[in-house]
Structure 1
Amino acid sequence: MDLPSFLWLWRIAAWSMGLSLVAYVLLALIGIRMLHVRTLWQRESSWLRSLHYKIGICLVSLVLLLLLIGIVGTYGHFGSLGHSQHLWAGLTTVMLVLLSAGSATQIGVGHPWARRIHIGANIAIFFAFAWVSITGWSVVQKYLPQYHFPLVIEISHNSCDRLI
């Protein structure tokens, strides 16, 4: 496959990763708020729980989209998978997000274990996102030299002197 035709795919991946991180932070903030309300024995807002579920569904969708893009892009470029640690970082992230979402559906009075699994998976997702971001940056560096347009503006020493 011709990789330059995949540029739109990489743009979708970049936006999806950014939105996934935003969704994760929002979910963490809402989840901490829900935990705070519950520990104070206050009545939980139904809209807050609903928002938490909706953002969670968005996160699951974005992570699955990233998995699909990664598989299609890597297979399209190399003809096979597993050329870096990014595959394992991505699969770990996907599994943890799915574990978190699955355990969230079981949280309730009859399943005290579900909340612990949900919170534990979400803490692990933080480290998985860090791992997938670091390994993803090295993957991006493999593809960027193939494109002939300025993605990063370099500041030369002379231009810095003019600014001073």
Structure 2
Amino acid sequence: MNLPSFLWLWRIAAWSMGLTLTGYGLLAITGGVLFYTRSKDQGRSAWLRPLHIGLGTAVVALVLVLLAIGIIGTLGEYGRLGHSFHLLFGLTVVVLVLASAWSASRIAVERPWARSLHVTLNGALGIALAAAGLSGWQVVQKYLP
């Protein structure tokens, strides 16, 4: 195919991945503080939980942007998907981030399983993000001049 360069798309993907990793790190910190204050039965600041939820929403949005970029860029460059393990790792990240968001929405006193599921999913998400980031770096190297 004689298509324009997708370099601009990969720049958006790089920024989105960087912001996703930053958001994930900030979510780990704010989630840890929320866990600590809950376990010590201390009062929480009024802004921490909304910040955690806002960061989570931003990470979900960024991951969906990354999914769209990956599909558009790969189909535009190759005409089909599945050129590396990056597709598997990326789809795993999408599933885990959506499952984590769902489990977060279920957290309540009457559903104690939701909090532990949320934390477990986020641990797996960290591993999947690392795998997707490393494999994505290798994929993007193919496109750079």
TM above 0.5, yes or no, is yes
Amino acid at match of 1:107: I
What is the DSSP-based 3-state SS (H/G/I as helix, E as strand, rest coil) of the residue aligned with 1:110? Answer: coil
Which structure would you say has the larger Rg?
1
Q: Select the structure with the greater relative contact order (CA < 8 A; seq sep ≥ 6).
A: 2
Q: Which deviates more from structure 2 when the two are superposed, residues 37-46 or residues 13-22?
A: 37-46
The number of residue pairs the alignment matches comes to 145
CA deviations on 1:75-128 (whole Å, 9 max, x unpaired) are 111101111100000000011111111100110111111001100011001100
2:103 counterpart of 1:139: no
Report the Cα distance in structure 2 between the residues aligned to 1:134 and 1:79, rounded to whole angstroms: 23
Aligned to 1:7: 7
Q: CA deviation at 1:2?
A: 4.4
Aligned to 1:32: 32
Q: Contact 2:7–2:143 at 8 Å: present in 1 too?
A: no
What is the DSSP-based 3-state SS (H/G/I as helix, E as strand, rest coil) of the residue aligned with 2:106? Answer: coil
Q: Which deviates more from structure 2 when the two are superposed, residues 132-141 or residues 27-36?
A: 132-141
What is the DSSP-based 3-state SS (H/G/I as helix, E as strand, rest coil) of the residue aligned with 1:81? Answer: coil
2:93 counterpart of 1:93: yes
5+ unaligned residues in a row in structure 1: which ranges? 148-164
5+ unaligned residues in a row in structure 2: which ranges? none
Identity across aligned pairs (percent)?
Answer: 57
User: 4+ residue stretches of structure 1 with deviation over 4 A?
Assistant: 1-4
Aligned to 2:46: 46
Distance verdict in 2 for CA 1:86–1:3, change over 3 Å: farther
> TM-score when scaled to structure 1?
0.85
Q: CA deviation at 1:3?
A: 5.1
Task: Note the aligned Cα RMSD (angstroms).
Answer: 1.1
2:50 counterpart of 1:22: no
Q: Contact 2:74–2:80 at 8 Å: present in 1 too?
A: yes
Report the Cα distance in structure 2 between the residues aligned to 1:3 and 1:23, rounded to whole angstroms: 33
